[in-house]
Amino acid sequence: MKTVWALLLVFGLPLLAMASEDRPKHHTVDGFQNLPITPTPPALGIGFYLRRVWSSFSLPDVPKEHYLTETEAIKQFEALAGNNTLTWIGQSTFLIRLEGKMILTDPFFSEYAGPYSMGPKRFVAPGISAENLPLIDVILISHNHYDHLDEALIEALPNKSDIQVFVPLGLKEFFTERGYSRIYELDWYESDFVNTLQITALPGVHYSGRGLSDKNKTLWCSWSIDSPAGRYFFLGDSAYSPVLFKEIGRYATTFDLAMLPIGTYGNRKYGVNNHTTPEEAISIGLDVNANNLLGMHWGTIEMSDEPPWEPPKRFRAAAQKADIPPERAWIMKIGETRILPSSGANPFRNE
C-alpha cells in the first residue's frame, strides 16, 4: 500500500510541499529536479571525456586484499546461510539476504558502464558472477545510469515473473519491456511491501539519463528496507545536502546500516558536484542516524579523477574524526559477505 502525499503534508515534511498546481516540487513539466534545487553543472569539456576513454586502456593495479576470488566469495556466502547477510558484488551492487528474500541493489555486472562496450571499463570482476547468483526475489534501482542499471543483467535474469522490482518514477517501462510484471514504481516517500519487508523510496541529490535527450526524465531515489530484523538505508548515488538527509533522519528515526557512496568525487575539479566525498558520506550517515556506515561506489570502475584507492582511506579517517568506532565504519572486499546488523526495526515515525 503506497504512502500517500496527503500523509506527508499532515506530518509537515517541508521538502515535499505541493506546488501550487498540486504537483510535488521535485516534479517539473520536463521531468524531475533536486530539492533543494541544485544549480545546473557546467558542460564537461573534451578533457574529461578523453580522460575517461584513457582510463579504460590504463586500468589500475588491483591489490589482492581488495577482493575475494569468486570461489572464496561463494564459499563465504554459503557458509553464512540462515543469516541475514550483505554481499558486495562491486560498485553499488549488493546481494542482500533478508528475511528469506534475495535482494539485488543497482545491478551492474557488465564489463563496461555504458552502451555498446563503451564507457568506463571495470577493473575488478563481480564478486559473484551473474551466472552464479541465487534466484533473485527483489530488485532495487536507485536511478538509470549504466553502472546502476545493467540492461544485459536485467535481460538475462531467470524467473522474471517472480521478481518484484522497485524503481523510481519513470522506470517501470524499462522492466515491462524486458519481461517483468511485478513492478512497483514509486515517488519519494512512497512505500510498498514484500511479505514482511517494507520498501520505501526516499530522496537523493542526483540526476538521471542514459542518452543525450533523456536527462532527468526519470526520477532518482534512495531506499529504505524496513524488516523485523532491522532497517537499512541504500543511498544509490547522491551529492550531499544537510537539509535533505537530516529530514530523512527525522522521518526514519534510525537505521541499522547505511550503504553510502564514497567515490566519483574527483569530478569536482570540473565544477561537477553530484557525488559525495568520503567525508560527506560520513556526514550523511550521521544525519540519517545510522548505527553502522558502509562505503560503496568505489574500487570497481574509474569514473572520475580521484586516485582509485583513496576513498576508503578518507572514509576511515573521517569516521575516526567523527568518533565512529572502526567496527561501525565498514569497508568491504568485493565478494565479501557480512552478517547484517540487527536491532529490530521500529515503525517510521509518521506511519
pLDDT tens readout for residues 63-80: 999 999 999 999 999 999
Task: Answer yes or no: is pLDDT of 7 > 70.
Answer: no
Residue 349 banded pLDDT, cuts 50, 70, 90? very low
- The confidence score (pLDDT) of residue 192 equals 98
Mean pLDDT along residues 79-88: 98
- How far is CA 231 from each of CA 127, 253, 258, 338, rounded to the nearest angstrom? 24, 10, 9, 16
* pLDDT reading at 304 higher than 60: yes
Tell me what the mean pLDDT of segment 88-113 comes to. 98
Is residue 238 predicted with pLDDT exceeding 90?
A: yes
Return the top range by mean pLDDT from 16-30, 112-126, 182-196: 182-196
Plot region of 78 (φ>0 → left; ψ -120 to 50 → alpha; else → beta)? alpha
Residue 56: the pLDDT is 74
List all residues 6 or more positions away from 25 whose beta carbon is below 8 Å from its beta carbon. Answer: 15, 16, 17, 18, 19, 35
So what's the pLDDT on residue 57? 79
Lowest-confidence region among 1-5, 73-77, 137-141, 166-170: 1-5
Spatial distance between the Cα atoms of 67 and 85, rounded to a whole number of angstroms: 17
The architecture CATH gives domain 69-339:
4-Layer Sandwich (3.60)
Per-residue pLDDT, 253: 92
Residue 11 clears pLDDT 70, i.e. is over it: no
Mean pLDDT value across residues 97-104: 98
351: pLDDT strictly greater than 50: no
DSSP-derived secondary structure letter, 1: -
Instruction: Measure the CA angle with vertex 304, ends 298 and 307; round to 5°.
Output: 65
Q: What is the pLDDT of residue 21?
A: 62
Pairing mode of beta strands 85-90, 337-339: antiparallel
Rounded average pLDDT over 293-307: 96
Strands (E) across 187-336 are located at: 191-194, 197-202, 222-226, 231-234, 257-261, 293-296, 329-330
pLDDT at residue number 12: 41
SS3 of 234-266: ECCCCCCCHHHHHHHHHHHCCECEEEEECCCCH
Average pLDDT over residues 46-71: 85
pLDDT at 169: 98
Q: How far apart are CA 167 and CA 150, in angstroms?
A: 14
- CA 61 remoteness from chain centre: 26
Residue 1 pLDDT greater than 70, yes or no: no
pLDDT for the residue numbered 6 = 38
Domain assignments of the chain as residue spans, ordered by start? 69-339
Quote the pLDDT of residue 18. 45
**Model pLDDT, residue 113:** 95
pLDDT of residue 336: 99
Predicted local distance difference test score (pLDDT) of residue 87: 99
Residue 350: is its pLDDT beyond 50? no
What pTM was computed for the model? 0.92
Residue 43: its pLDDT value, please? 74
pLDDT, mean over the chain: 91
- The pLDDT of residue 41 is 80
Reported confidence tier of residue 5, pLDDT bands at 50, 70, 90: very low
Is residue 195's pLDDT more than 90?
Answer: yes
Cα→Cα distances 160→87, 131, 164, Å: 22, 15, 8
Q: How far is CA 350 from CA 12, 130, 247, in A?
A: 10, 38, 12
Cα-Cα end-to-end distance for the chain: 12
Q: Which residues of 301-333 are buried (b: 16+ CB within 10 A; e: fewer)?
A: bbbbbbebeebbebbbebbeeeebeeeebbbbb
pLDDT score at 345: 53
